Amino acid sequence: MDRKIITQEDVKEIISAGGKKLVILDDTTITSLARDLINKEGIKLEYKDKTKVDPLGNNSTKTKGTVYSINDFTKDTVLQFYYLMLKIRLFEQLAKTYKEKGIIPGDFVHVYMGQEAIAVGVCSALEKKDYITSTHRGHGHLIAKGADVSKMLAELIGKVDGYCKGKGGSMHISDIGLGILGANGIVGAGLPIACGSALASKFNKDKVITVSFFGDGASNQGTFGESLNFAKIFSLPVIFLCENNNLAVSTPVSYSCGSPDIYRRGLGYGVESELINGDDVFEVYLAVKRILKEIRKEPHPVLIEATTHRQIGHWVGDPQKYRTDKELADLPNHDPLRIFLGKVKGRSDITSSDLEGVESKVVAGIKKAIDFADKSSYPPLENATKDYLKE
The b/e string for 179-197 (b: 16+ C-beta within 10 A; e otherwise) is bbbbbbeebbbbbbbbbbb
Q: Give the pLDDT score at 14.
A: 87
pLDDT of residue 384: 84
Are 237 and 196 spatial neighbours (Cβ–Cβ below 8 Å)? Answer: no
Residue spans per domain, the chain: 5-48, 70-375
The rounded radius of gyration (Å) of the Cα atoms in the chain is 21
The dihedrals phi and psi of 95, each to the nearest 5 degrees, come to -60, -40
pLDDT 10s digits, 213-226: 999 999 999 999 99
Whole-structure pTM value: 0.84
pLDDT below 50 — which residues of the chain?
A: 49-63
What tens digit of pLDDT does each residue of 286-333 get? 999 999 999 999 999 999 999 999 999 999 999 999 999 999 999 999
Domain range 70-375, CATH architecture: 3-Layer(aba) Sandwich (3.40)
Provide CB contacts within 8 A for 222, sequence distance 6+: 188
What pLDDT does 249 receive?
95
The CA distance from 79 to 351, in Å, is 11
Write down the pLDDT at residue 52: 37
